[in-house]
């Protein structure tokens, strides 16, 4: 619809210039927007205000010339000039009714766009260290990343979801030591527990599983061998657990990328990917040696200071591995890479962007910073601590509120806003809970359709799509849908492709929950004012059933992008 309006305005400008009614050396952008106030119409353009000076006319005068050019378009009912020189356009009922046909024809594909033109995008998110349970923030990244991927797919990108597994490095060793210590306790040994070791109850659980499976045989083994064995056993367990929890919220990854593979020698025994990445930067002239360390000159790429890649002791920094990781991503052919990180990593963004630019992919990395989650229960802050073992984990939260409420609440705030998550509210089945408000609209529609079809309302096996196929006819006289509530509903349905576009361009899936609530509200208002099933008005009933079914489809579509179910009954 936006394109239609934009070309209408551009056409009016061109025609007015050609006809000599205005004088411009250059045609301006159409500057089309949706007015905040619905009484100003469906669309407005400020083009007359912006170009009045260049055209040497006063804005209202210019607006009048342009309005005259636009008046005859079949999709436009009214063109009005308002305020200092806005041109307000009202879309015709006919054009809105056509939207209903579009929604039903496209079904789950309604709102699909070709912004991506099939370009390959990778979204990397969660990437929690596999040394313990995920915290609630991980849940937020999971919901955010997965919905972002869904939106990008809907907008025409080819998307892959990836989880970076930090299976190398000291936190893995700490993890192994911690598990080994608990294991030795179970074997009845006295142990000394390191200060920075992990103390969560889950460590003891893992140790117990190993103890039960393998007995006390490792108690007298060489500590290094024992820890190495425990590391592998335990981390695989944790990783499987992470997959399981994420899957429980409907989040599944295409690729689980192991950090270790970056450090390992190549297949033919040559240099590792980390070494190759450094060499590739060296070849491009971005590497120097200082104080026995190898440095990446990142300042020229906008970083605050240059960064060490290889330390004086010969080992590589985490950043070096991350550069290799991102080089690997681009080597795999992605046109665009999106990383979702917690706010506690924002200091890392500049150097990563610098590295990606130095590797020859400037501007192809987007880092989305997600602010943290504060958990509340009945107004009280719930503290999270990775070490005390008393934290509320992402899994705990999911068990308590369920995947629908969890995903919906995680998406409801914009990403750069810290999220206050109220467990009590998420569990409430009341009008205070927005996820139920939206799902209720969908269930209510299904109920109307069942009722209209004369279906037995107690029969749970009634299939809604079969009901619809029988009930809703393409011959329905949609021109009868001309009341305010009906027009508002159709306007809201028409907005969906724009919402997908904005969410995809700005990487802000939170727009979806807002839209879902607006669409649900438009439907509830329509329902209150318009009786759908009326035996005395068969024509009107047919038309309204058509509109109701289109709403059902669009609600289901937006909920798919959010990642929340669209129940037929509640």
525 lies in the site for RNA, by CB under 7 A = yes
461 lies in the site for RNA, by CB under 7 A = no
Q: Which helix (H) or strand (E) holds 426?
A: helix 423-427
Choices 216-224, 357-365, 369-377, 389-397 (CB under 7 A): range interacting with RNA? 369-377
Q: CB 530 → RNA: shortest distance, Å? A: 6
458 lies in the site for RNA, by CB under 7 A = no
Write out the binding residues for RNA, residues 253-292 only, by CB under 7 A. Answer: 290-292
Q: CB 185 → RNA: shortest distance, Å? A: 26
Assess contact for 522 and 492: CB atoms under 8 A: yes
Site string for RNA, 51-90 (x = CB under 7 A): --x----------------------------xxx-x-x--
* Residue from 94, 247, 429, 479 in contact with RNA (CB under 7 A): 429
Assess contact for 512 and 555: CB atoms under 8 A: no
Q: CB 120 → RNA: shortest distance, Å? A: 27
Q: CB 258 → RNA: shortest distance, Å? A: 13
If the CB atoms of residues 144 and 184 are measured against RNA, the closer one turns out to be 144
If the CB atoms of residues 33 and 539 are measured against RNA, the closer one turns out to be 33
129 lies in the site for RNA, by CB under 7 A = yes
* Burial of residue 50 (number of CB atoms within 10 Å: 0-12, 13-18, 19+): middle
Q: CB 209 → RNA: shortest distance, Å? A: 24
Residue 200 to residue 243: CA distance in whole angstroms: 20
Give 309's contacts (C-beta < 8 A, 6+ positions apart).
278, 287, 294, 295, 296, 316, 317, 319, 320, 323
Residue 388 to residue 384: CA distance in whole angstroms: 9
Q: CB 540 → RNA: shortest distance, Å? A: 11
* Burial of residue 132 (number of CB atoms within 10 Å: 0-12, 13-18, 19+): buried
Contacts made by residues 181-186, CB under 8 angstroms, sequence distance 24+: 182/206, 182/207, 182/208, 183/207, 183/210, 183/211, 183/218, 183/219, 183/230, 184/219, 186/211
Residue 30 to residue 12: CA distance in whole angstroms: 10
446 lies in the site for RNA, by CB under 7 A = yes
If the CB atoms of residues 255 and 521 are measured against RNA, the closer one turns out to be 521
Choices 145-153, 168-176, 190-198, 390-398 (CB under 7 A): range interacting with RNA? 168-176
Write out the binding residues for RNA, residues 304-323 only, by CB under 7 A. Answer: 304, 307-308, 311-313, 315, 317-319
Write out the binding residues for RNA, residues 387-406 only, by CB under 7 A. Answer: none
* Beta-strand runs (E) in 108-204: 120-124, 158-165
- Report, in this order, helix, strand and coil percent for the chain, each rounded to 5: 55, 15, 35
434 lies in the site for RNA, by CB under 7 A = yes
Beta partners for 296?
287, 307
Write out the binding residues for RNA, residues 337-366 only, by CB under 7 A. Answer: 343-348
377 lies in the site for RNA, by CB under 7 A = no
196 lies in the site for RNA, by CB under 7 A = no
Q: Label the pairing between strands 120-124 and 336-342.
A: parallel
If the CB atoms of residues 221 and 290 are measured against RNA, the closer one turns out to be 290
Q: CB 210 → RNA: shortest distance, Å? A: 23
Choices 32-40, 280-288, 325-333, 358-366 (CB under 7 A): range interacting with RNA? 32-40
Q: Label the pairing between strands 373-377 and 419-422.
A: parallel
Choices 161-169, 247-255, 358-366, 460-468 (CB under 7 A): range interacting with RNA? 161-169
- Compute the Cα dihedral for 399, 400, 405, 409 and give only its sign: negative
If the CB atoms of residues 73 and 184 are measured against RNA, the closer one turns out to be 73
177 lies in the site for RNA, by CB under 7 A = no
Q: What Cα–Cα distance (Å) separates residue 339 from each residue in 242, 281, 332?
A: 19, 21, 16
Note the maximum CA span of the chain.
Answer: 97
Write out the binding residues for RNA, residues 488-517 only, by CB under 7 A. Answer: 508, 510-511, 514, 517
Q: Label the pairing between strands 336-342 and 365-370.
A: parallel
* Residue from 418, 456, 479, 484 in contact with RNA (CB under 7 A): 418
Number of residues that bind RNA (CB under 7 A): 89
């Amino acid at each position: 619809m936006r394109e239609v309006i934009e070309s209408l305005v551009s056409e009016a400008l061109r025609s007015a210039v050609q006809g000599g009614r205005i004088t411009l050396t250059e045609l301006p952008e159409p500057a089309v927007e949706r007015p905040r106030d619905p009484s100003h119409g469906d669309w407005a353009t400020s083009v007359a205000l912006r170009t009045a000076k260049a055209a040497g006319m006063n804005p209202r005068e210019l607006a009048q010339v342009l309005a005259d050019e636009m008046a005859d378009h079949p999709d436009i009912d009214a063109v009005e000039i308002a305020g200092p020189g806005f041109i307000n356009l009202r879309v015709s009922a006919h054009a809105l009714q056509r939207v209903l046909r579009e929604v039903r024809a496209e079904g789950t594909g309604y709102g699909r766009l070709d912004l991506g033109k099939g370009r390959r995008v990778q979204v990397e998110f969660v990437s929690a260290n596999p040394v313990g349970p995920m915290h609630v923030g991980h849940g937020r990244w999971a919901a955010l990343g997965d919905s972002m991927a869904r939106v990008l797919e809907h907008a025409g990108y080819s998307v892959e979801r990836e989880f970076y597994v930090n299976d190398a490095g000291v936190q893995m060793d700490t993890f192994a030591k911690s598990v080994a210590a608990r294991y030795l306790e179970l074997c009845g040994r006295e142990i000394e527990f390191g200060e920075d070791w992990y103390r969560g109850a889950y460590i003891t659980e893992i140790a117990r599983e190993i103890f039960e499976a393998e007995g006390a045989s490792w108690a007298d083994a060489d500590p290094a061998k024992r820890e190495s064995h425990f590391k592998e056993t335990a981390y695989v367990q944790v990783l499987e657990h992470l997959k399981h929890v994420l899957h429980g919220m409907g989040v599944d990854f295409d690729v689980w990328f192991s950090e270790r593979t970056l450090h390992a020698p190549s297949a033919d025994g040559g240099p590792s990917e980390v070494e190759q990445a450094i060499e590739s930067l060296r070849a491009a002239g971005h590497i120097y040696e200082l104080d026995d360390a190898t440095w990446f000159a990142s300042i020229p790429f906008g970083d605050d200071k240059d960064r060490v890649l290889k330390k004086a002791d010969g080992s590589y920094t985490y950043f070096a591995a991350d550069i290799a990781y991102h080089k690997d991503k681009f080597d795999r052919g992605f046109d665009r890479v999106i990383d979702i990180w917690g706010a506690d990593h924002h200091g890392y963004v500049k150097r990563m962007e610098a590295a990606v630019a130095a590797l020859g992919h400037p501007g192809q990395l987007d880092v989305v910073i997600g602010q943290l989650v504060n958990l509340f229960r009945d107004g009280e802050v719930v503290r999270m601590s990775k070490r005390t073992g008393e934290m509320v984990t992402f899994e705990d939260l999911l068990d308590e509120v369920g995947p629908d409420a969890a995903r919906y609440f995680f998406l409801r705030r914009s990403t750069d806003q810290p999220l206050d998550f109220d467990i009590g509210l998420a569990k409430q089945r009341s009008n205070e809970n927005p996820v139920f408000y939206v799902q209720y609209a969908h269930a209510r529609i299904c109920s109307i359709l069942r009722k209209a079809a004369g279906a037995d309302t107690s029969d749970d096996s009634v299939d809604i799509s079969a009901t619809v196929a029988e009930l809703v006819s393409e011959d329905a006289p949609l021109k009868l849908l001309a009341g305010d509530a009906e027009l508002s509903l159709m306007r809201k349905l028409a907005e969906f492709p724009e919402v997908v576009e904005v969410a995809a361009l700005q990487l802000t899936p939170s727009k979806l929950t807002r839209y879902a609530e607006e669409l649900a509200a438009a439907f509830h208002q329509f329902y209150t004012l318009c009786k759908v099933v009326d035996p005395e008005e068969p024509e009107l009933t047919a038309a309204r059933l058509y509109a109701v079914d289109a709403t059902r489809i669009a609600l289901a579509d937006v909920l798919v992008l959010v990642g929340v179910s669209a129940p037929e009954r509640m």
